[in-house]
Structure 1
Amino acid sequence: MKKTIPLEEGDFYWAENGYRVFTAQYHLKRGYCCESGCRHCPYGYDPKTNSQ
């Protein structure tokens, strides 16, 4: 089971369409790349090549 990470100031913002967008700060706290092509991925994942 994955552990729950409490959200803090600066971990996300709301996009115009109403979705929550996680920032690089949150991804670094999480500690791994989910390989979903996140907008602010600090791990360098590229969904086009499926590699980091």
Structure 2
Amino acid sequence: MAKLIDDDVSSVHRAACDRGEATYIDPQTGFMVFTKVGLLERGKCCGSRCRHCPFGHENVPQKR
């Protein structure tokens, strides 16, 4: 089941990026999610553990 969900999210994310969109609606939760395109516009990792972070989550705090 998890693989199916991952495939759905990947497809929706890829389509949104192809259209140059900064966000998409997660098909499972209905939440708005930033795309890689939208996150690249920021220019750096915000530290919020974004799903599609193109910066390798470099500013995410270490777990305590």
TM-score interval (norm. to shorter): 0.5 to 0.7
Length-normalised TM-score, structure 1: 0.64
Higher relative contact order structure (alpha carbons within 8 Å, sequence separation ≥ 6): 1
1:14 to 1, 6, 25: 25
Which structure shows the bigger proportion of residues in helix conformation? Answer: 2
Structure 1 spans left out of the alignment, 5+ residues: 1-8
Alignment of 1:1-52 (within 5 A): 9-15=20-26, 16-45=28-57, 47=60, 50=62
The structure with the larger Rg is 2
Structure 2 spans left out of the alignment, 5+ residues: 1-19
- Structure 1 segments (4+ residues) deviating >6 Å: none
Identity %: 41
Length-normalised TM-score, structure 2: 0.54
Between Structure 1 and Structure 2, how many residues are aligned? 42
